[in-house]
Amino acid sequence: MSEKVLLVDDEKEFLEIMSERMEARGMEVTTAESAQKALSIIETNTFDAIVMDFQMPEIDGMEALKAIKTKKPELQIILLTGYASVEKTVEAMKVGATDFLEKPADIAALEEKIKKAKAEKMLIVEKQSEDKIKDILQRHGV
């Protein structure tokens, strides 16, 4: 089954070419030119991973990361960044980023990280389902 990815970057040309290459590798890609648009897209769509530029207009990468994680905690976010400082990386990981990749990125490395993120998400979703079932059973005294 193909990976469903939301690609977020304020560089339109980057979105076009990157999504073309990702689709050629069998991924299903949706694009957003801002974190604001990404936040609205995730309201009605599910993704295996979000690949997002860390520095964009409107909402700062860290703010966007927090907002996405608040709305959909199970979503796996891979950050693309021009320059990844250790402090920023640690901060983003604490907030819930799954992984980091520096621009220009190697598509094979990105593909691998997306697959890993999908597996991670599936585990979280399974755990959430198990917890829900346990909760229902407990409420019914089973």
Partner 1 sequence: MNKKDTSTQTNFLSDGATLFFGKMSASTTHEIKNSLAIINENAGLLSDLAQLTKNGHSLSPEKVDNISEKIQKQVQRTDLILKKLNRFSHSVDGFSVDCLKTDSLNSNRLNTEGHRTENSEELINLPEALNFIIDLSSRLIQRSECIIKVKTATVPVIISSQLFYVQYLIWRVIESMCYYGGKKDQISISFDTSEESSSIWFESNLTEESVFKEILETHQDKALIDHLKVLVKKNNSVLGLIWPKTI
Question: What angle separates helix 12-24 from helix 107-139, to the nearest 10 degrees?
Answer: 80
Contacts of 73 (CB under 8 A, 6+ apart): 96, 124
Do residues 2 and 27 touch, judged by C-beta distance below 8 A? yes
Note whether 24 binds partner 1 by CB under 8 A.
yes
Q: Identify which of residues 24 and 142 has a Cβ nearer to partner 1 in the complex.
A: 24
Candidates 18-26, 67-75, 91-99, 119-127; binding stretch for partner 1 (CB under 8 A): 18-26
Note whether 56 binds partner 1 by CB under 8 A.
yes
> Six-digit token pair at 115?
């697959």
Distant-in-sequence contacts of 82-88, Cβ < 8 A, 24+ apart: 82/54, 82/55, 84/54, 88/54, 88/62
Note whether 142 binds partner 1 by CB under 8 A.
no
Binding test (CB under 8 A) with partner 1, winner from 44, 87, 94, 104:
104
Binding test (CB under 8 A) with partner 1, winner from 70, 71, 90, 107:
107
Candidates 14-22, 71-79, 87-95, 120-128; binding stretch for partner 1 (CB under 8 A): 14-22
Query: 132 by DSSP, 3-state: which?
Result: helix
# residues contacting partner 1 (CB under 8 A): 20
Which residues of the chain form contacts with partner 1 (CB under 8 A)?
11, 13-14, 17-18, 20-21, 24, 55-58, 60, 80, 82-83, 103-105, 107
